[in-house]
Amino acid sequence: MTPSLVDSRQSIATKPRLGFVGVGWIGRNRLEAIQKSGLAEVTAVADESREACAAVEQIAPGCHYVGSLDEMLFADLDGVVIATPSALHADQAITALEHGLAVFCQKPLARTAAETTRVIDAARAADRLLGVDLSYRNTLGMRRVRDLIQAGALGHVYAADLVFHNAYGPDKPWFFDPRLSGGGCVIDLGVHLVDLALWALGFPRVIGTTSRLYSKGAPLRDRTSQVEDFAEARLDLDGGAVIRLACSWNLPAGRDAVIEVAFYGTGGGAAMRNVNGSFLDFRTERFRGTSREVLSDGHEDWGGRAAVEWSRQLAAGGRFDPAVEHVAEVASALDGIYAGDA
């Protein structure tokens, strides 16, 4: 399939035709969000689990099962959504992009900054839309916090504290294999924290990193055979601000999850925190001295918004969006966290 054929088809089709590679919980959730939006047509699915594919076929009755991404490349598609183990993301995304398909990929886009840059370069060369599911950007609370920061309402922001503790941890073995995952809780959960901090602050340059990584309560010794289940890190930013973050799997936190994102400036502060240990419900507040103002509170269905927005851009004929280049900056910061503990 050549880019020219895709261009011709998209000019005629009313909706982009999408394939989904990996339809476990996350992949199925994003598929369902896109299906409900009506912005695209779910055409093909591929997953090692035939049962998972069968469940998807009930959500999107018009789609059909294909054996692999390679088969999907010739299934008359406009884009693919990738939700496979992290080690597969870069090569699968590059393959799809080089065949003229747009790509929406689960985080992390790749295991390292070098891999991430390869994918972005491929999207730029193919002039194809590339999206990454950094989903917490799409909560109402984080959008309001970012708006305050970008408008200067918090003054000069000099500190950010971010936490993501998942009391359960992953349920699939590949997360614990460094070759497949690229790391542990940092690349799984810390990627969201680093992205939120840099995104909200306008992507300032990281000029220094220190970190400590642990596995089962002891300092991580060998990243070739272990992944971290607890991490603390500090990122020093150009301009003097500091980001402090912590993340973990299986921490005895007394609740399902602890998720907190807070920014402090010379004109006040703002924070988004999860409610009653929820992974989905957040309360967001603005601080002025010792007083606080609620910006948002309660449940909202935000998980699939990034996928839906990517579908909206694709349906409108969207090509390569340079904003995705910031994902490489996040990946570089993660590399720094891993190197900072070496």
**Domain containing residue 159: CATH number:** 3.30.360.10
The predicted pLDDT at position 54 comes to: 74
pTM of the model: 0.93
Lowest-confidence region among 62-66, 99-103, 151-155: 62-66
Lowest-confidence region among 46-60, 246-260, 315-329: 46-60
pLDDT at 4 over 80: no
Q: Looking at residues 289-316, what average pLDDT do you find?
A: 96
Q: Looking at residues 287-293, what average pLDDT do you find?
A: 97
Same domain membership, residue 315 and residue 175: no
Encode pLDDT of 68-79 as tens digits.
899 999 889 999
The predicted pLDDT at position 342 comes to: 54
104 and 79 in contact (C-beta within 8 Å)?
yes
CB count within 10 Å of CB 126 equals 22
The predicted pLDDT at position 299 comes to: 87
Same domain membership, residue 294 and residue 145: yes
pLDDT band at residue 1 under the 50/70/90 scheme: very low
Same domain membership, residue 309 and residue 291: no
pLDDT at 21 over 90: yes
The rounded percent of the chain whose pLDDT value lies above 70 is 96
For residue 328, tell me if it sits in a domain.
no
For residue 336, tell me if it sits in a domain.
no
Domain that includes residue 268, residue range: 140-301
pLDDT at 3 over 70: no
Same domain membership, residue 151 and residue 103: no
For residue 334, tell me if it sits in a domain.
no
pLDDT at 320 over 80: yes
The predicted pLDDT at position 14 comes to: 74
Closest CA to 81 of 115, 153, 30, 38: 30
Q: What rounded mean pLDDT belongs to the chain?
A: 93
Q: Looking at residues 56-63, what average pLDDT do you find?
A: 80
For residue 341, tell me if it sits in a domain.
no
338 and 113 in contact (C-beta within 8 Å)?
no
pLDDT at 57 over 90: no
The predicted pLDDT at position 341 comes to: 59
**DSSP H helical segments within the chain, as ranges?**
3-12, 25-37, 50-59, 69-72, 86-98, 113-126, 140-150, 178-181, 185, 191-201, 305-315, 326-340
Q: How many domains does the chain have?
A: 2
CATH number, domain at 26?
3.40.50.720
- Residues with Cβ < 8 Å from 91, sequence gap 6 or more? none
Lowest-confidence region among 41-50, 57-66, 159-168, 171-180: 57-66
Same domain membership, residue 220 and residue 97: no
DSSP 157-189: EEEEEEEEEESS--SSGGGG-HHHHSSSHIIII
Q: Looking at residues 124-136, what average pLDDT do you find?
A: 98
The predicted pLDDT at position 328 comes to: 98
262 and 271 in contact (C-beta within 8 Å)?
yes
Q: Looking at residues 188-198, what average pLDDT do you find?
A: 98
Same domain membership, residue 313 and residue 282: no
